[in-house]
Structure 1
Amino acid sequence: MRLRFVAGAVAVLAASAGVGALAPSAGAAATVGISVDAGTSLGTVPSSGVGLNTGVGDEHMGDAKVTSLMKAAGVRQLRYPGGSGADDFHWKTHTMGNGGWIVPNTDFDSFMATAKKVGAQPILTANYGSGTPQEAADWVKYANIDKGYGVKYWEIGNEVYGNGHYSNGKGWETDTHADKSPKEYGKNLVAYAKAMKAVDPTVKIGAVLTTPGGWPDKEKAPGDSADWNNTVLSIAGSSIDFVIVHWYPGGKSTADLLNTPSKIAGVTAELRSLIAKYAGSRAASVEIAVTETDAEFSPVLTSQAAALFAPDTYMTWFEQGATHVDWWNLHNGSGEAPTTVHGETDYQDGGILSAGTCAGGRCEPPRETPFPTYWGIRSLTALAKPGDTMVKSSSGNSSVAVHAVRSSNGGLNVMLINKSPKNAAQVSLSYAGFTPAAGAVTTVSYGKGDTSLTTAKRGTAVAQTLPPYSITTLQLKPASGTAVADKPSPASTPTAAAPLVSAAGKIGSRAQAENGAPVGGPTPNGSTSGPLASTGASSAVTYSAIGGLLVIVAGGVLVLRGRRRRGLHGK
C-alpha cells in the first residue's frame, strides 16, 4: 500500500478544479507567433519511446479490444509488473510476498503475449524490495535464454528511496534490507547487474534515482555523507546502462499542470550532469527513462487538460533526450468521486481506458471507453514515427505549445496545443529550412468532447485557428520544386539546469508528496527541499529491447486515488 500526504490536497481539488489561469480574459487574443527551424535537430524519435504501465492486478490487459486500442495509440513499450508492487512480486510463483492483489492472466508469459500483440517491447522491474540478485538473474535466464524473449531493459526496484530511509522508517516501498540507505542500494545494484549480465551480457540495467527538484532529492538522512543520487551513482555509475525517474509534476490548477513541461529541460540537465560525473567515458550511452508519469497531484486525471498534458510531456522529454516515457496507467479505476473541470467530468482515474468502476455514487463510462488522456497520447501518431527527426520550434506565448518533426518522406509535421479552456488561438507560423506547399493543409485534431481524432483540410501552413483546449497537428508537404532540406544539424546542449520551481511548488516524482512530504513544503525530517508509431503495423518492434495503491492524507482526511485496489479493475 502506498501512502501520500499532500498538504491541502482536498482544498486544492475542490477549489481549483475549474481554474484556468491560462485562459485570457474576454476579447480577441493576440496572434501567437510560432517558429519552426527544420534545420536544427533535437534528435530522433526513440523506437520505443511511447510507453505505458501495466500491472499484475489488471486481468484485462491482454483482451483483444485493449491490445487493439494500445496498438492504435502507438504504444511501443509496456512496463511490468507495475509500480510499488514490483518490489514485492515474485515472478516464478506469480505471487506477492505480502499477499497483495494479483489476478489471473497477468503472469509473465501472459504479459509477454500482450506485448507481442501490441508490438511493444517490455521493460521489467526486478524485485529489489524483497527479492535477490539470484531471483533477478533467474528471471533473465527464463526470459532471454529459455524463452528467447530478448528482454533488454531491467529496472532494479521501483521507488526504492521511498523505503522509509528519509521518513523515520515510514515509507511506501517494500524493502526488507536491514540497511535502507542509498549506499546499500548502490552496493546491491552492482550485485544485481553482475548477476544478471552474467546470464545475458546484452541486458541493460537501470538505477532508480530521485527526480531532481522533487522530494527526497538533495536530502541526507542521519549517517549519510551525500544524497541519494550522488551516493548511488558514485557506487554503481560504472555498472548501469540507464537511470530512472518518475515525473508527477502536479499543480494547483490546470494552468499550473500545463506549464510544467517547461521544467523538463532543467531536470534532464541535472541528470546529465550527474551521469557525466559518475559514468565517465560511458556517460553519453547512459539513457534516461521516465518509467512513470501522469497528471497526478493536479485537479485532473481523465479530462481534457490531462489529454493536452500527455503529448506535450512525451515530446518534451524526447526532445531533451529521454529514450522511454511510460504513462501511468493502462487501467486504474476511480477511487474518489468524479469532479467537474471546465464543464467536463473528470473521473479521477489514472488509467487511459475506463475500468467501469463507480465512486461517490457515480460510475465511469463502460469498460474500455477511452478517456481523453488516451486520445492525447494517440495524437502523437499523427506527429511522428520511430526514427523521425525532432526539430527545433518555439512559441511566442506559453498558452500555445509546439512540437515539430521532420518525417522520413521529407514532410514536416507540427503539433500545436492550445492550453486555453475558453478561447480559440490564432497562430501565425514561420519556417526555416523548409518551404511548405501552398494551400489548405491536412490537420489531425482532438478537441474537448471529441471521441476520436479528426482529419480535415483546414487553414494554411502559415495561419491556423486552434479551438479551445485542443491538439492540432499540421501535416505539411514541401513546396513543389523545392529541394529537400539537408539533414538537420544538432541543437546546442544546455549547459545549466533551469529553475525547477513552479507556481505549485516543487516538482518531480510522485515521491515528493509521499509519506509526509508535502509538495514544495517541509519533508518528514523538517527541512525544505528548496514509438511513436502510426496506426498501421509498420516499424515492427524486434524483441531485443525494453504500475500501487494510492491514498492522499490531506488535513487528516483520507482521499483514495485508487492505485491497484480490488475495485479498480471491476472486480
Structure 2
Amino acid sequence: MPRTLLRAASAFALTLTALSAPAAHADDVTPVAVTVNARAALATVPETGIGTNHAIWDSNLGTDETADLLKDAGVKLLRYPGGSYSDIYHWADHTAPGGYVAPDTDFDTFMSGVRRTGAQAMVTANYGTGTAEEAAAWVRQANVVKGYGVKLWEIGNENYGNGHYGAAWEADDHADKSPAEYARTVVAYADAMKAVDPTIKIGAVLTTPANWPDAITAEGDDGSWNKVVLSTAGSKIDFVILHWYPGTLDKVGHVPDMIQLTREQIAAYAGPGSERIGIAMTEFNTGSSSNGTNTQPGALAAADSYATLLANGVFTVDWWNVHNGIGAVTEVAGHTDYGDFGLLSSGVCNSDGSVCEPALNTPFAPYYALEMVSRFARPGDQFVRAASGEAKVSAHAARRPNGDLAVMLVNTSADTSYPVEIDYSGYSPASGAPTVLTHTNGATSITTSTGGSATARTLPPLSLTTLVLHPAAPQAGRPGAPGQPVASQVTDTSAKISWPAASPGSRPIVKYEVHRQNGAVSEQLGETSGTSFTPHNLKPGTRYTVNVIARDSAGDLSWASPPLTFTTGTPATSSCSVRLTIQSDWASGYVGAVDITNDGAPVSGWTLNFSWPRTWQSLGSGWSGVWTQDGSDVKVVNEAGNGSLGTGATATIGFVGNYSGPNVLPSVFTFNGTVCTTR
C-alpha cells in the first residue's frame, strides 16, 4: 500500500458506550460460558506466524530500536519494500520513480534489521514496472552474493488493482492488464528466479474471498482473477497472497470460510500437487481509523484476527505496517486515536501542527496485541477449538508440546467486566494457580501475574487476557499424535478417513478414535484398531472437520492429529438433479440460475427447497417461480406455466443472491421432499 492507506472507512460496528455511562459490575452479569476442547485440534503455529510490513519511505525501518521493539513483540517475519511501492521499486539503484524513498532504507539495511529482529524476510518483486530478469538478479544478490537466505518471494502487490476491473491504484506498465498476463508473467518470474536459487518459494497474488474484485469476471477473461491465475501459474508457485482490511471489527467470523474457499480454489484450479501451496496474509489491518486504528478496539480485533487466521492454517499474518504516519485524529475508547496504521508511532504532527503523535517508536495498542498473540501461541504449539457464549467475548486456545495449555480471552465490551466460566474437554488443568497475562485499555505493557483458577476469571472491559495452564497428569509415556488424515471415497453419506500410525509411548496403542469438530464440541464418529475408518451416517453436502486420537492400553490419549476438512456430496442417483450456475457476480451479490431436472415420474406441481449456508447470505429476488425466504430457508414453488415436468424434463429458475461475507454456495436441494443430485 502507499504511505496513505486508501481504504473506504466502514461504520464502526463495535459500538462503544459513552465513557460517562456506569460500567456494568461483574457481580451483575451472568457468567459467560467458555468451552475449550483439546480434542479438536486446528493448525500448528508456524515459525513465521507473527509478521509486519516495512516500507522504504520509513527511515527508521533499519534502526536497532525498531528491530528490538519488533523482536520483543515476537515478530518473526518482515515484508519489504512496502505494499504498492513494490511495483515501482528497483532494488539495484534503490529508486521508486513517482514515490518517496527515505534515507537508510536500502535492502542491506532492511536485512540488517531482519537479522537483529530474529525474523525471516519476505520480499516483493516488482511486477508492475520491473522484469523477471530484475527479480532474478535480486535473488542472486540476496542469496548468492550476500548469503541472506531469503526464501519467500512475492510477485507483485495487489495487481488486480491495475485498472483491469475499473479501480487503478497499482502501477502496471504491461499493455495487457488481465489476470492471464499476470499469470504468464508469474511463470516467467518463477522460472528465472528459481534458476538462480531453486530453494526459494514463489507467491502469487490472489483476491480475498468476498472482497473486491473477488469472483468478478471482466470482459475477455476466462474466469475470475483467482481462477485464471491459479489455472496458469499454479504449478509454478508455492504460496498464494491474500490481503484483508475488513473495515469493521465484527468480521473475524468470516475467516474460516475465507481460508477454506481459498483452499478449494487452489484445489480446483492449481493442478496436481496443489496441496503444497500455502496461504499468506501479507497485509492485514482493521482498515478504518474510525474503528480505533491505534487504540484498544483495533488491538482487540488484531489479536482475534491473528489467532483465527493462524488457527485456520495461514502461515503468516503481516500487520500494515510498522510506521505509517498520522491520519484523521479522533477519540476512541477514551484515548486519542491518530488514524495511524502503524504498530509504532512515527512521532509526527498533522498538517497544521495542532496534534502530534507520541515520541518516535512509542508502541500503539496493536503492538501489544501482536505481543500477546506471540506469547499465547508460540511456534510449534497447536491451536485447539475454543468458543464463547457471549458475542462480546471471544476465546482461543493452544496446546504446547510440553502439555501446557494457553487460553486467550478477548473482551470487546467498552463498559462491561465479564466473568467467564471455562469448561475443558480432553484436558485436565492442574489445581495450582495459572500464569495470567493481561492487557487493558490504555495500558503501556502486558502485565504478568499468578493467581485465580483455571476455570473462572473476570475480564476487564476492552481487554486481552491469556491463561497459561499446566496439565494435571504427567505427559511422559503417552502415544504420539497420529499423522495427517486424508479422505477418499467421499459420497453423500460416507467417507474413508485414513491416517499414518501414531508412534507408541511406554504402552502399546490399542485403538484410534475419530472425532468430528462441531464448533468447540467433539462428536466421536467411531473408533478402530487400524489406521482407517469409514463413517456411514454423514449428511449430504456438509463440511466436516475431523481429528484422530490414539489411545493406549492404559487409556492414555495422544494429542489430536492435524485437522482434516472434507465436504460430502449429494446422492449419485436420485429422482431429481439440480445444477446451480453463476451468471454474473459483483463481489457482494450474484445472479444464479438453477436447472431442475425431473428424473423420476412426471409431476404436475413442484417445490424446491434449499438453505443459505451462512447468516450473511440472503435472497434478493427470484423469477420463474414463487420465491420465499424464512430465516435461512428458501422455498420456490412452481408458477402456473411450469408446474408440469415429465420424466427427463427441466425447469430453469433464477435469483439474485446477496452476501456480505465469503459466499459458500448452497449445495443441497430437495425437490418435492427428495434430496437431488447436485451437478
Unaligned runs of 5+ in 2: 479-556, 569-611, 619-656, 661-679
- Structure 1 stretches lacking a partner, 5+ long: 252-256, 504-526, 531-571
* Letter paired with 1:180: K
Distance of aligned partners of 1:91 and 1:499 in 2 relative to their CA distance in 1, 3 Å threshold: farther
What displacement does 1:489 show? Answer: 2.6
| Counterpart-to-counterpart distance in 1, 2:29 and 2:237 | 50
DSSP 3-state at the match of 1:266: helix
Equivalence for 2:266: 275
CA deviation map 1:209-249 (0-9, x unaligned): 11110111111222223111111111111111100010111
Query: After TM superposition, where is structure 1 displaced by more than 6 Å over at least 4 residues in a row?
Result: 2-7, 527-530
Q: For residue 309 of structure 1, what is the aligned residue in structure 2? A: 301
Q: Deviations over 1:383-434 (max 9, x none)?
A: 1221111112221222111111111222111101111111011111111221
Q: Which has a greater percent of helix?
A: 1
Give the 3-state SS of the residue equivalent to 2:38 in structure 1: strand
Shift of 1:299: 2.3
Choose the corresponding residue for 2:438, options 445, 449, 462: 445
Larger Rg: 2
Aligned pairs for 1:184-195 (under 5 A) are 184-195=181-192
SS of residue in 2 equivalent to 1:493: strand
Q: 1:16 to 1:377 in 2, by over 3 A?
A: closer
CA distance in 2, matches of 1:130, 1:528: 37
Equivalent in the alignment of 1:434:
427
Residue 520 of structure 1 corresponds to which residue in structure 2? none
Tell me the residue number matched to 2:332.
Answer: 341
- Read off the aligned partner of 2:560 and give its amino acid letter: P
The whole-number CA distance in structure 1 between the counterparts of 2:7 and 2:85 is 22
The alignment status of 1:49 with 2:49, answered yes or no, reads yes
Paired position in structure 2 for 1:263: 254
Q: Is the 8 A contact 2:34 2:386 kept in 1?
A: yes
Query: Which whole-Å deviations, capped at 9, do the CAs of 1:97-121 have from their partners, x for residues lacking one?
Result: 33x1001211111111110000000
Q: Report the alpha carbon displacement of residue 490 of structure 1 after superposing the two structures with TM.
A: 3.1
Following superposition, the deviation at residue 26 of structure 1 comes to 5.3
Deviation at 1:142, TM superposition (A): 0.9
Q: Match of 2:36?
A: 36
- Is the 8 Å Cα contact of residues 24 and 417 (structure 2) preserved in structure 1? no
CA distance in 2, matches of 1:82, 1:528: 35
Corresponding residue of 1:401: 394
Q: Report the TM-score, using the length of structure 2 for normalisation.
A: 0.69
Deviates more, 1:107-116 or 1:473-482: 473-482
- Who is 1:545 aligned against? none
Worse-superposed segment, 193-202 or 83-92 = 193-202
Of structures 1 and 2, the one scoring higher in RCO (CA 8 A, sep 6+) is 1
* CA deviation profile, 1:10-59 (whole Å, cap 9, x unmatched): 9x47x987469xx9995733211111111332121001111010011111
C-alpha change, 1:197 and 1:122, in structure 2 (3 Å) is same
Equivalents in 1 of 2:14, 2:395: separation in Å? 26
Q: Relative to structure 1, is the Cα distance of residues 219 and 19 closer, same or farther in structure 2, using a 3 angstrom cutoff?
A: farther
User: Aligned to 1:487, which of 538, 559, 570?
Assistant: 559
The reply to whether residue 246 of structure 1 matches residue 243 of structure 2 is yes
Cα offset, 1:311, TM superposition: 1.6
Q: Within the alignment, does 1:476 sit opposite 2:548 as a pair?
A: no
- Distance, in Å, in 1 between the alignment partners of 2:613 and 2:239 is 22
Other structure's SS at 1:212 match: coil
Q: Is the 8 A contact 2:46 2:380 kept in 1?
A: yes
| Structure 2 partner of 1:364 | 357
Offset of residue 458 of structure 1: 3.1
For the residue of structure 2 that corresponds to 1:206, the secondary structure is: strand
Question: Kindly tell me: are residues 371 and 424 of structure 1, through their superposed partners in 2, closer, same or farther at Cα, counting changes over 3 Å?
Answer: same
| Between 386-395 and 474-483, the greater mean CA deviation after superposition | 474-483
Q: Secondary structure at the match of 2:275?
A: helix
How many residue pairs match? The answer is 492
Letter in 2 for 1:120: A
Q: Distance in 2 between matches of 1:425 and 1:246?
A: 33
1:117 paired residue number: 116
Find the aligned partners of 1:335 and 1:304 in 2 and give their Cα distance.
17
Q: For 1:41-87, what per-residue CA distance to the aligned partner results, in whole angstroms no more than 9, with x for missing partners?
A: 21210011110100111111222221111001000000000010000
Mapped contact 1:17–1:339 kept (Cα < 8 A): no
Q: Is the partner of 2:251 in helix, strand or coil?
A: helix
For 1:198, the aligned partner's letter is A
| TM-score normalized by the length of structure 1 | 0.81
Question: What does 1:96-495 correspond to in 2, within 5 Å?
Answer: 96-98=96-98, 100-167=99-166, 170-251=167-248, 257=249, 259-297=250-288, 298-336=290-328, 338-359=329-350, 361-479=354-472, 486-493=558-565, 495=567
Q: In 1, are the aligned partners of 2:136 and 2:192 still within 8 Å (CA)?
A: yes
- Deviations, residues 509-529 of structure 1 (Å, cap 9, x unaligned): xxxxxxxxxxxxxxxxxx998
Aligned partner of residue 177 in structure 2, secondary structure: coil
- 8 A Cα contact 1:42 1:389, kept in partner: yes
8 Å CA contact 2:35–2:423 kept in 1: the answer is yes
* Residues 4 and 60 of structure 1, relative CA distance in 2, 3 Å threshold: closer
Distance 1:120 1:231 in 2: 33
Q: State the alpha-carbon separation in 2 of the partners of residues 529 and 488 from structure 1.
A: 35
Instruction: Give aligned-pair identity as a percent.
Output: 48
Aligned 8 A contact 1:265 1:498 in 2: no
Between the aligned partners of 1:478 and 1:6, the Cα distance in structure 2 is 45
RMSD over equivalenced CA pairs, Å:
2.6
Read off the aligned partner of 2:259 and give its amino acid letter: T
Which is richer in strand?
Answer: 2
Query: Is 1:66 aligned with 2:69?
Result: no
Q: Is the 8 A contact 1:88 1:130 kept in 2?
A: yes
2 CA distance for matches of 1:275 and 1:500?
25
Say if 1:159 and 1:208, in contact at 8 Å, map to a contact too: yes
Letter of the 1:135 counterpart: E
Is the 2:162–2:170 contact (alpha carbons within 8 Å) kept by the matching residues of 1?
Answer: yes
Aligned-residue offset at 1:192: 0.7
Question: 2:141 corresponds to which letter in structure 1?
Answer: Y
The 1:40/1:452 distance shift into structure 2, 3 A limit, reads same
- C-alpha spacing 1:228/1:464, structure 2 compared with 1 (3 Å): same
**Contact kept? 1:443, 1:455, Cα under 8 Å:** yes
